[in-house]
């Protein structure tokens, strides 16, 4: 066994040398091939969407430019930028507080602040509307109290949409920044302080730049999710690119125009991703994976109380109050809906989430390693695999469906016919189509934490291991996987929870009998029966807590 | 370093184990499904693509199965995605029936050729001609009236007359509407274009927008809640949303008004109605059983169930209204063919965009 020395810093497969002759196929080339196939498969739905340009939709574009386009562009930009800034500020400050300081409740707030992750954006949106709109308890209570002097306010505002999205998406940044700060350890800060930096300087000049890959990865996930969001903006009737896509499809019966709009949205995201890469630039920080000293600074009593209050109030608005409201609705509606079929919903939701999380994380790992050893051109090719996250779910699902339908009709049907078997479709309406849509959509989510933890890995460690004769799969097993564990764990949790919350692709691609909790929520909310949606929504949150708690326990053991 | 390594290395076989377990489970489920589809060849089993929600349709399927022994499976989604799925699946589609909640969607399904025409004396007798496709590709199952709702403390019914009158200047800052993205409003405006012509319809809708007290709402219930909170005096909603709200709180000061009941031409054209309806897919392998289900859905027994489930009006004129529907009073309905809304829907959407109706 001899390692290929040229591939330093990467997961290089061992080249098997037998009697002085190299076998042509190495693990590395197999992995590279698999990675390329993965990216190509992830890009097929986009090719289908780009085919939308083959038809002439000048008239629709003229109409859009004359009426709504400027508003749509403005709203989409405002939403993307505001949510990006909001999640970064909130996520980083919470992570910094819980990692670096000691204050009352820190031990449990540390993990509790991840809980809003389990809250689907559309659920928080309808809870906020239910609490604060005209018929909600707040305004009704004030009205009862003040009588005629009370004047109602309309909660449906741009700021509310932005706030809701920040509250559900900040955990992306929080989780990634938290593990980055944790792995930095307090040594870094101590050294900086010894060298005469103030705490502020140490944070802005040392700790934050070192955590930048993680923070940027988290924020870009939040922004992409925001751009693809339909549920929340629909509840607040806030017009974005996504609503225009659906309007073209459902209102104008024009799927081609919808596809063209969707590809324009992709352009937005492409630019954003490019900017992200630029901002990351040459910054690459590595550190040892050795357990870091974590010395938390005690805060003055006043500051400690302020810290607790800040964390607690975010947790309350984003999680505790909405859950209580859901619970209240559940109690009002009763538990009639809980029957044998309900257990089926629960188990299918969990199963799809678990399977999809494993597939997605495995593929993301494959891509991450391939990217690491690739040149600049190939690297941007691998990056294309992440685009799926930015497409509105339904549009991506249609792309997946059309490509599988083409396979069914052009490939499988003729073969079946040739074999003399009755023709029926194998792929569309199968679990495989659904799982494909999931991993294409959520590859970017798994990619973020894996990539950023891989970037923090000092290249000398695998080199040293290789020097000691560890190579190939054992290098993966013994060095990489253990050292990437926090990142992998985060990736599994994020994808797991995201898949369970996913609604449009599940609706379109599920085979019959594969209803999930998200499907049940859709059934209720689409008719405006939000109180009846409370039970499946609450169940979804509880089920979504499982992976979050498992990860928290695992990282506590770490 | 050694101890953690062994612990970690246990993690991954575990993940792969879970993965393979999961895969096995899906495999067996798929086998089961394929088994089920294979069975279909002997034992008819219907698959319905339904934009009508599960809780509004399942009781009927259960009843049909109980009576005929034919099992009915269903997949629910919005009409657009279901239609896209039917189109993509083409001749291989396992679906036998498409059910949607808007005539425009049924019209579109006919346009793209996924529905098969039916010859049925039962349906011809049970479903009035303006509530079905002229070539019998689809048939309405229920009628949904979209009418004016108003605050009974602030308004007398005499102050209301037509949909168009809500565009008058005296209504400034007093009107609440649902978003134009909802197909119910698109159909309403589409039939208004049919009645008034595009230019006049545009003036009316622009007048509505000018009279809005608040931004359009995401659903009909929110429109009524805004009226109850004194934010506006009247709005336009489907009657069953009114029924649902009043069921929980009968004392609410809200009332329905039937517009466009008197006068000549467009003024007396009647209340705008939309339908939920069904058609048999072109790819269906069980057209006979599928037709049997749709025929049964138009029967008095099923029509009563549909009416009682969601307070929608029956299409079968032999079915007497239940007490609640009857209490809302009788009205003249616009007798334009509801499919016309589909033809004019894109035009209506663009019109609403032009006048800034969000």
Question: Closest by alpha carbon to A98, among A288, A314, A283?
Answer: A314
Kindly tell me if the per-residue pLDDT of A502 is higher than 60: yes
Q: Taking the C-alpha atoms of A249, A252, A255 and A256 in order, what is their torsion angle to the nearest 10 degrees? A: -140
Enumerate domains of chain B plus CATH numbers: 43-143+273-321 (3.40.190.10), 147-270+331-354 (3.40.190.10)
* Within a domain: A145: yes
Tell me if chain B has a CB within 8 Å of the CB of A110: no
- ipTM rounded to 2 decimals: 0.86
Mean pLDDT confidence for A268-288: 65
Kindly tell me if the per-residue pLDDT of B3 is higher than 70: no
Structure tokens at B337: 């063919």
Which distant-in-sequence residues (6+ apart) come within 8 Å of A324 by Cβ? none
What's the pLDDT tens digit per position in A64-99? 999 989 999 999 999 999 999 999 999 999 999 999
Tokens 């590809």 belong to residue? A263
Q: What is the pLDDT of residue A481?
A: 81
**Contact between A401 and B84 using a beta-carbon 8 Å cutoff:** yes
**Contact between B229 and A67 using a beta-carbon 8 Å cutoff:** no
Q: What is the pLDDT of residue A24?
A: 58
Mean pLDDT confidence for A9-30: 53
Identify which has the larger pLDDT, B176 or A413. B176
Tokens 């083959």 belong to residue? A54
Q: What is the pLDDT of residue A291?
A: 53
What's the pLDDT tens digit per position in A358-370? 999 999 999 988 8
Residue A379: pLDDT band (50, 70, 90) is: confident
Q: What is the pLDDT of residue A139?
A: 92
Q: What is the pLDDT of residue A195?
A: 85
Span of A197-201, A505-509, B57-61 with lowest mean pLDDT: A197-201
Q: What's the distance, CA A282 to chain centroid?
A: 25
Identify which of A133, A243, A478 has the shortest CB distance to residue B225. A133
What chain A residue is nearest to B224 in terms of C-alpha separation? A135
Tell me if chain B has a CB within 8 Å of the CB of A473: no
Which distant-in-sequence residues (6+ apart) come within 8 Å of A500 by Cβ? A349, A350, A352, A353, A516, A517, A518, A540, A543, A544
The rounded mean pLDDT for chain A is: 84
Which distant-in-sequence residues (6+ apart) come within 8 Å of A530 by Cβ? A126, A129, A130, A329, A524
CA A356, A489, A81: angle at the middle one, nearest 5?
80
Identify which of B4, B88, B221 has the shortest CB distance to residue A405. B88
DSSP string, A461-506: HHHHHHHTT--HHHHIIIIIHHHHHHHHHHHHHHHHHHHHH--HHH
Kindly tell me if the per-residue pLDDT of B239 is higher than 90: yes
Mean pLDDT confidence for A345-361: 94
* Within a domain: A260: yes
Mean pLDDT confidence for B4-33: 42
The rounded mean pLDDT for chain B is: 89
B241 contacts on A by Cβ (under 8 Å): 528
Domain that holds residue A69: 27-557
* Within a domain: A311: yes
Mean pLDDT confidence for A111-121: 90
Identify which of B11, B94, B186 has the shortest CB distance to residue A251. B186
| Best residue in B108, B229, B285, B339 for a mutation probing chain A (most A CBs within 10 Å) | B229
What chain A residue is nearest to B23 in terms of C-alpha separation? A355
* Within a domain: A6: no
Q: Which helix (H) or strand (E) holds A246?
A: helix A241-246
Instruction: Confirm or deny that B240 is annotated as ligand binding.
Output: yes
Residue A88 contacts residue A173 (beta carbons within 8 Å):
yes
What chain A residue is nearest to B230 in terms of C-alpha separation? A152
Q: What is the pLDDT of residue A449?
A: 86
**Contact between A66 and B354 using a beta-carbon 8 Å cutoff:** yes
B350 contacts on A by Cβ (under 8 Å): 63, 67, 252
What chain B residue is nearest to A232 in terms of C-alpha separation? B218
A52 contacts on B by Cβ (under 8 Å): none
Identify which of B23, B76, B356 has the shortest CB distance to residue A355. B23
* DSSP state at residue B217: B
Q: What is the pLDDT of residue B24?
A: 36
Span of A466-470, A495-499, B66-70 with lowest mean pLDDT: A466-470
**Residue B305 CA neighbour count, 13 Å, CB half:** 16
Identify which of B19, B225, B356 has the shortest CB distance to residue A355. B19
What chain B residue is nearest to A393 in terms of C-alpha separation? B81
Cα(B357)–Cα(B353) distance, rounded to whole angstroms?
Answer: 6
Kindly tell me if the per-residue pLDDT of A273 is higher than 90: no
Q: Quick one: what percent of chain A has pLDDT higher than 90?
A: 36
Which distant-in-sequence residues (6+ apart) come within 8 Å of A147 by Cβ? none
A44-53, A268-277, B118-127 — most confident range: B118-127
* Within a domain: A22: no
Identify which has the larger pLDDT, A269 or A450. A450
Cα(A489)–Cα(A484) distance, rounded to whole angstroms?
Answer: 9
Cα(B9)–Cα(A285) distance, rounded to whole angstroms?
Answer: 26
**Contact between B218 and A394 using a beta-carbon 8 Å cutoff:** no
What's the pLDDT tens digit per position in B40-67? 445 689 999 999 999 899 999 999 999 9
Span of A16-30, A177-191, B6-20 with lowest mean pLDDT: B6-20
Tell me if chain B has a CB within 8 Å of the CB of A485: yes
Residue A523: pLDDT band (50, 70, 90) is: confident
Instruction: Confirm or deny that B313 is annotated as ligand binding.
Output: no
A431 contacts on B by Cβ (under 8 Å): 26, 29-30
What chain A residue is nearest to B52 in terms of C-alpha separation? A523
Mean pLDDT confidence for B86-102: 93
A342 contacts on B by Cβ (under 8 Å): none
* Within a domain: A21: no
| Best residue in A429, A486, A524 for a mutation probing chain B (most B CBs within 10 Å) | A429
| Chain B: closest CA distance from residue A2 (Å) | 23
* Within a domain: A12: no
pTM across the whole model: 0.88
Tokens 């040594």 belong to residue? A187
Q: What is the pLDDT of residue A393?
A: 84
Q: How many contiguous H segments (helices) and E segments (strands) does chain A have?
A: 25, 4
Kindly tell me if the per-residue pLDDT of A342 is higher than 90: no
Q: What is the pLDDT of residue A8?
A: 39
The number of folded domains in chain A is: 1
Tell me if chain B has a CB within 8 Å of the CB of A147: no
Identify which has the larger pLDDT, A371 or B120. B120
B186 contacts on A by Cβ (under 8 Å): 251
- How far, CA to CA in Å, does A170 sit from each of A89, A163, A177, A228, A290? 9, 10, 11, 16, 28
CATH number at residue A218: 1.10.3720.10
- Residues paired with residue B271 on neighbouring β-strands, in sequence order: B333
Could you count the other beta carbons within 10 Å of the beta carbon of residue B3? 7
Span of A188-192, A359-363, B53-57, B208-212 with lowest mean pLDDT: A188-192
Tell me if chain A has a CB within 8 Å of the CB of B6: no
| Chain B: closest CA distance from residue A435 (Å) | 10
* Within a domain: A261: yes
Question: Closest by alpha carbon to A129, among B222, B167, B297, B61?
Answer: B222
Mean pLDDT confidence for B208-220: 96
Residues 234-273 of B with CB under 8 A from A: 241, 244
């Amino acid at each position: 066994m001899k390692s290929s020395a040229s591939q330093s810093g990467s997961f290089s497969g061992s080249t098997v040398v037998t009697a002085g002759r190299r076998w042509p196929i190495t693990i590395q080339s197999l992995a590279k091939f698999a990675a390329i196939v993965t990216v190509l498969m992830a890009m097929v739905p986009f090719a289908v969407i780009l085919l939308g340009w083959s038809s002439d939709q000048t008239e629709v574009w003229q109409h859009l430019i004359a009426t709504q386009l400027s508003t749509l562009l403005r709203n989409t930009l405002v939403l993307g930028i505001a949510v990006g800034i909001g999640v970064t500020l909130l996520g980083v400050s919470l992570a910094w507080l819980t990692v670096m300081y000691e204050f009352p409740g820190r031990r449990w707030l540390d993990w509790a602040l991840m809980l809003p992750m389990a809250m689907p954006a559309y659920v928080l949106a309808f809870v906020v509307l239910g609490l604060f709109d005209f018929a909600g308890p707040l305004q009704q209570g004030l009205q009862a109290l003040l009588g005629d002097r009370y004047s109602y306010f309309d909660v449906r505002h741009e700021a509310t949409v932005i706030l809701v999205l920040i509250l559900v998406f900040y955990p992306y940044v929080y989780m990634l920044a938290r593990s980055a700060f944790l792995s930095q350890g307090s040594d870094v800060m101590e050294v900086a302080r010894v060298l005469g930096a103030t705490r502020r300087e140490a944070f802005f000049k040392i700790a934050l730049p070192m955590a930048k890959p993680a923070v940027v990865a988290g924020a870009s996930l939040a922004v992409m999710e925001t751009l693809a969001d339909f549920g929340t903006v629909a509840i607040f009737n806030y017009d974005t690119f996504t609503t225009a896509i659906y309007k073209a499809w459902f209102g104008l019966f024009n799927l081609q125009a919808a596809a063209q709009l969707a590809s324009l949205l992709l352009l937005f995201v492409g630019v954003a991703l490019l900017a992200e890469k630029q901002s990351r630039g040459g910054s690459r920080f590595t550190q040892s994976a050795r357990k870091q000293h974590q010395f938390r600074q005690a805060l003055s009593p006043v500051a400690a109380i302020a810290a607790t209050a800040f964390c607690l109030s975010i947790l309350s608005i984003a999680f505790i109050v909405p859950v209580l409201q859901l619970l209240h609705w559940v109690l009002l509606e009763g538990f009639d809906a809980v029957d044998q079929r309900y257990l089926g919903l629960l188990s299918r939701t969990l199963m799809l989430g678990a399977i999809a999380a494993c597939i997605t994380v495995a593929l993301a790992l494959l891509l991450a390693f391939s990217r690491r050893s690739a040149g600049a051109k190939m690297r941007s090719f691998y990056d294309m695999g992440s685009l799926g996250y930015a497409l509105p779910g339904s549009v991506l699902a249609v792309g997946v469906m059309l490509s599988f339908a083409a396979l069914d009709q052009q490939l499988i049907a003729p073969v079946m016919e040739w074999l003399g078997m009755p023709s029926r479709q194998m792929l569309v309406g199968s679990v495989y189509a659904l799982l494909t849509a999931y991993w294409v959509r959520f590859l970017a989510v798994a990619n973020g934490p894996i990539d950023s933890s891989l970037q923090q890995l000092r290249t000398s460690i695998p080199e040293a291991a290789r020097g000691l004769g560890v190579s190939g799969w054992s290098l993966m097993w013994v060095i990489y996987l253990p050292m990437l564990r926090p990142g992998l764990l985060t990736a599994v949790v994020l994808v797991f929870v995201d898949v369970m919350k996913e609604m449009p692709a599940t609706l379109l691609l599920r085979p019959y009998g594969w209803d999930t909790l998200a499907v049940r929520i859709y059934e209720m909310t689409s008719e405006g029966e939000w109180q009846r949606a409370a039970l499946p929504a609450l169940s979804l949150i509880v089920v979504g807590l499982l992976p979050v708690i498992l990860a928290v326990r695992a990282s506590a053991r770490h | 370093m050694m101890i953690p390594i062994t612990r970690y290395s246990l993690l991954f076989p575990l993940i792969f184990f879970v993965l393979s377990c999961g895969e096995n489970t899906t495999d067996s489920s798929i086998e089961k499904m394929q088994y089920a589809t294979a069975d279909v060849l002997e034992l008819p089993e219907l698959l319905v693509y339904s934009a009508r929600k599960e809780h509004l349709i399942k009781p009927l399927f259960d009843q049909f199965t109980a009576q005929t022994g034919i099992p009915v499976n269903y997949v629910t989604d919005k009409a657009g995605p279901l239609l896209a799925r039917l189109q993509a699946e083409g001749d291989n589609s396992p679906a036998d029936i498409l059910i949607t909640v808007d005539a425009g969607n049924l019209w579109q399904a006919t346009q793209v050729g996924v529905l098969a025409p039916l010859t049925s004396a039962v349906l011809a007798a049970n479903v009035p001609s303006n509530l079905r496709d002229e070539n019998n590709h689809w048939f309405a199952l229920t009628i949904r009236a979209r009418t004016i709702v108003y605050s009974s403390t602030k308004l007398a019914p005499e102050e209301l007359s037509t949909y168009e009158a809500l565009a008058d200047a005296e209504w400034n800052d007093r009107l609440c509407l649902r978003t134009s993205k909802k197909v119910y409003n698109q159909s309403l405006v589409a039939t208004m274009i049919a009645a008034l012509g595009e230019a006049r319809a545009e003036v009316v809708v622009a007048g509505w927008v000018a009279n809005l007290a608040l931004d359009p709402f995401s659903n009909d219930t929110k429109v009524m809640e805004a009226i109850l909170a004194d934010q506006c005096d009247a709005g336009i909603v489907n009657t069953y949303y009114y029924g649902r709200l009043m069921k929980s709180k009968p004392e609410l000061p809200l009332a329905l008004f039937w517009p466009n009941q008197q006068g000549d031409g467009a003024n007396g054209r009647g209340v705008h109605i939309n339908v939920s309806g069904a058609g048999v897919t072109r790819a269906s392998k069980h057209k006979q059983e599928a037709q049997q289900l749709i025929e049964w859905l138009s029967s008095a027994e099923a029509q009563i169930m549909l009416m009682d489930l969601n307070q929608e009006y029956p299409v079968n004129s032999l079915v007497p209204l239940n007490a609640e529907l009857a209490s809302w009073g009788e009205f003249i309905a616009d007798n334009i063919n509801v499919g016309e809304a589909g033809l004019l829907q894109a035009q209506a959407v663009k019109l609403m965009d032009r006048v800034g109706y969000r």
